[in-house]
Amino acid sequence: MPTKKSHLTRKKGRKGIPDAEQEGALPPHEWKKLQDLQYCTVVDGRRKHKFRKGETVLVLGFGMNPDEIHELHTYWVGKIKAIKGKSHESEAWVNVQWYYSGEDIAEQTTNIDVSGYGRFERSLSQAHDWVHFQTLDVVTVIRYNEDSISPEAIQPTDFYCRRSFDPRKNTVDPPIASTSTCICGQPYNPDKAYPLHFCPRPKCRKWYHRLCLIKEASIDDVPREGSRRKHDTTAHHRYKLLCSSPDHQQTLDLKNLTSGPRGPTQKKVQFNINLATLENVPTSLKKIAQQQIMKGGATYGVVGNVKDVVDARRFVYRLLQVETTEEWDEVLGDMEEWLEQHDVSHLLSNGDSRSSADGDDNHEAGCLALICPICRGAI
């Protein structure tokens, strides 16, 4: 990491060339002599760090002592838009487009509810500043779309962005209300401990707080045939979860799987399932595919297990639709390669709603029989 020098002593958003308030700032006549550069180089001991236009960087911000250790989420974050200097190896100034934290937005306006912002969440703004190149370090900001069923993984100390912020209009895009999909209307804060459940069906794709589902009685109380239990059993609910497809709105019939919803003149497609039966699907894959899709808090993380569970379910469906032994072996090969890239034990340990602190004392440990408020399918 390059040595940080505090050349930035003003707050975000004041455009123009560096002024006299900044330590080491150049006078205007010297500023005019600088060239537009594609990159600049910071020397850190024997190592050289090259910063290019378009990269995202950490910045030692206003009032931060360079001689002290700071928590990662307290650094400012910006995207390099322009670089000026006498040469690539000389002292340089970098124009950054700021990412605003929830605290930054709250300092500027009270009209935006920032209660859903996590510590590492940032919103890309239209505010720019020139900062000294010695204040920089490279970082990645991951774009997160909450509707996506294949989001990029976000680790606990990764910066991420769900929306943009306009500091002139004091608005965010998309509006927070439009992304708050739970029946309570409250925004999702990834740092909070309460988990959310997801319905992956194409016309649903919404996240719900577990407690909200319980309060709204979104619980599957219809027992399976022959069962005397009021609440759905864990095993049968897991089967229903497996029937909830990210590609079809209807509940799948896994014993007579079709290629998709039928139109009025389309015939149901049936497959040879002598080999392709649910009992023959590898246990590890089946267990992942039968997990509830969840996110939130330290247990499930920012994006949760949605991508892994969706991928696993699609593998199960592929196996159930093969017509030949050769096809079966091909899908198994793809599946084994996929499993090798994943920590199966981690996926299984984090895939259940097992916390009694969240109000599930009256349900079987390991899997709440919750249903989607829209399609009434298992989630």
Split at pLDDT 50, 70, 90, the class of 49 is confident
Q: Which residue has the higher pLDDT, 366 or 41?
A: 41
Q: Determine contact, residues 113/28, Cβ cutoff 8 Å.
A: no
Domain ranges of the chain: 28-179, 196-358
Q: Determine contact, residues 270/300, Cβ cutoff 8 Å.
A: no
HSE, CB side, 13 Å, CA atoms: give it for residue 23: 10
Q: What pLDDT sits at residue 256?
A: 73
Split at pLDDT 50, 70, 90, the class of 224 is low
Q: Which residue has the tokens 């009270």?
A: 110
Split at pLDDT 50, 70, 90, the class of 58 is very high
244/251 Cα distance (integer angstroms): 6
Report the amino acid identity of residue 219.
Answer: I
Q: What pLDDT sits at residue 357?
A: 39
Q: What pLDDT sits at residue 25?
A: 62
Q: What pLDDT sits at residue 354?
A: 46
pLDDT at 263 over 80: no
Q: What pLDDT sits at residue 335?
A: 95
Asked if the bond preceding 187 is cis, omega within 30° of 0, the reply is: no
In tens, the pLDDT along 62-112 reads 888 888 899 999 999 999 999 999 887 778 999 999 999 999 999 999 999
250/305 Cα distance (integer angstroms): 22
Q: Determine contact, residues 156/301, Cβ cutoff 8 Å.
A: yes
pLDDT at 365 over 60: no
Q: Which CATH superfamily is domain 28-179 in?
A: Bromo adjacent homology (BAH) domain (2.30.30.490)
pLDDT at 360 over 50: no
How many other C-beta atoms are found inside a 10 Å radius of the C-beta of residue 15?
10
Whole-Å CA distances, 341 to 121, 167, 299, 344:
27, 42, 20, 9
The residue count of the chain comes to 379
In tens, the pLDDT along 145-184 reads 998 999 999 999 999 999 999 999 999 999 888 777 899 9
Q: What pLDDT sits at residue 260?
A: 42
206/213 Cα distance (integer angstroms): 12
Q: Is the dihedral of CA 7, 11, 17, 23 positive or negative?
A: negative
Q: What pLDDT sits at residue 221?
A: 66
pLDDT at 299 over 60: yes
Overall average pLDDT of the 218-240 stretch: 69
10-18: long-range contacts, CB 8 A cutoff, minimum separation 24: 10/62, 10/129, 11/62, 12/62, 12/76, 12/98, 12/100, 12/104, 12/127, 12/129, 13/98, 13/125, 13/127, 13/129, 13/167, 14/129, 15/127, 15/128, 15/129, 16/130, 17/130, 18/93, 18/130, 18/132
Split at pLDDT 50, 70, 90, the class of 255 is confident
pLDDT at 273 over 90: no
Question: Across the chain, what does the average pLDDT equal?
Answer: 82
Overall average pLDDT of the 307-336 stretch: 93
User: pTM of the full predicted structure?
Assistant: 0.82
In tens, the pLDDT along 157-167 reads 999 999 999 99
pLDDT at 8 over 50: no
Q: What pLDDT sits at residue 293?
A: 96
Give the residue among 379, 220, 181 at the shortest CA–CA distance from 290: 379
Q: What pLDDT sits at residue 145?
A: 93
Q: Determine contact, residues 164/172, Cβ cutoff 8 Å.
A: yes
Q: Which of 65-74, 198-207, 253-262 has the lowest mean pLDDT?
A: 253-262
pLDDT at 7 over 60: no
Q: Which residue has the higher pLDDT, 357 or 121?
A: 121
